[in-house]
Amino acid sequence: MTNIHIEHKIKSDLLDIRIDKFLRTIGVKLSRSRINLLIKNGKILVNNKIPKPSYKVKCGDTIIVDYERLTSNDIKAEDIPLDILYEDDDIIVINKQENIVVHPARGNREGTMVNALLHHTKISGGDKSRPGVIHRLDKNTTGVMVFAKNDESLTILSKQIEKRTMKRTYLALVWGNIMRKYIKIDEPIGRKISDKRLMAVTSVNSRNAVTEIRRIASFDIASMIKVKLQTGRTHQIRVHMAFMGHPVIGDDYYGKFSRSAVKDLDIDIKKHFDNIDNFMKRQALHSVSLGFKHPKTFEDMMFYAPLPKDMIDLLNRLKNLDNGV
């Protein structure tokens, strides 16, 4: 763990720049949520006062930042099984299992994908607290993801995400029968005001988020959809589907009103809903394919992760309920 102290006085006019964006320009490579938490805890001061997270810096401001940074030496290599789909000197592609977070953070120093990767191979690049990480999947989302093994690969693959040329496709089972075959959801996502751990569709301190969904199967009480992301916001698919009134099955965070998605159906709701709700122990969301150009050869690459057993079993249960079994 490294203690970081930064004191910076702004000597030029900066137009309309929020403090979180400005801090990145002076080397504070932290997420917006981490910066907001530091502000809340008084670890970031502007002119010796705690600013609002939306504060826009001005010429003459003195900014003080104090925080602890996890380094690669703090991350313990752990012998955790990995389902490796592909590996070379520059990248490693993994089929992520459920119930594992991607990288170490507060409260999750061990037992992460990065801990497992460091035991298997050498990875580097980017933030020392999460070496090799290009994108993330939620703890209980399964499926294909890629990690970089060096700085050059991380930079090139990160630019592919930024330019939206990395192709990410998901399969999900959601509550309710979606009537349209194709829907494009273009709704901004930001932190939920009443609970900062969660995200929500909101116009307050949000970023644009675009999700494309295509219905590929329908059941009495649910739908199976294929999802393509144009952006990569935190919990994006789960938030957008809950906003549409079709939350992902098994989603404890965003599925609060799951029953309302099926309340008008002319079926035995208790039999159908409770059967599925009690069965699925995580959100039924899976990263099924990932496409990108190799960071060194620039060859087009596409990887697939088969649907996990719990989602296959869920599909069979939905089919059986439709057939009265």
Note whether 90 and 144 are same-domain residues: yes
Strand partners, 110: none
Domain contains 298: no
Least confident of 42-46, 165-169, 265-269: 265-269
Residues 6+ apart with CB under 8 A from 291: 166, 167, 168, 300, 301, 302, 303
- DSSP assignment, residue 121? S
**Residue numbers of the domain that contains 264:** 169-287+317-322
82-107 pLDDT, tens per residue? 999 999 999 999 999 999 999 887 66
Q: Which of 162, 187, 221 is the last residue of a domain?
A: 162
Q: Which amino acid is at 180?
A: R
Note whether 156 and 118 are same-domain residues: yes
Q: Which of 41, 69, 97 is the last residue of a domain?
A: 69
Least confident of 35-49, 156-170, 180-194: 35-49
Note whether 42 and 145 are same-domain residues: no
CATH code at position 57: 3.10.290.10
Note whether 194 and 278 are same-domain residues: yes
Distance separating alpha carbons of residues 29 and 128, to the nearest angstrom: 10
Note whether 102 and 192 are same-domain residues: no
Domain contains 95: yes
pLDDT at 113: 93
Domain contains 297: no
Number of domains comprising the chain: 3
Note whether 178 and 270 are same-domain residues: yes
221-233 pLDDT, tens per residue? 899 999 999 988 9
pTM score of the predicted model: 0.78
> If we measure between CA atoms, which residue out of 93, 97, 96 comes closest to residue 121?
93
Q: Is 138 a catalytic residue?
A: yes
Angle at the Cα of 305 from the Cα atoms of 299 and 306, rounded to 5 degrees: 140
CATH code at position 234: 3.30.2350.10
Note whether 141 and 232 are same-domain residues: no
Distance separating alpha carbons of residues 205 and 194, to the nearest angstrom: 14
List 20, 61, 138, 251, catalytic entry: 138
Domain contains 173: yes
Domain contains 295: no
Q: Which of 69, 94, 120 is the last residue of a domain?
A: 69
First to last CA, the chain: 56
Domain contains 292: no
Least confident of 11-25, 48-62, 197-211, 294-308: 11-25
Note whether 183 and 275 are same-domain residues: yes
Among 155-169, 243-257, 294-308, name the most confident range: 294-308
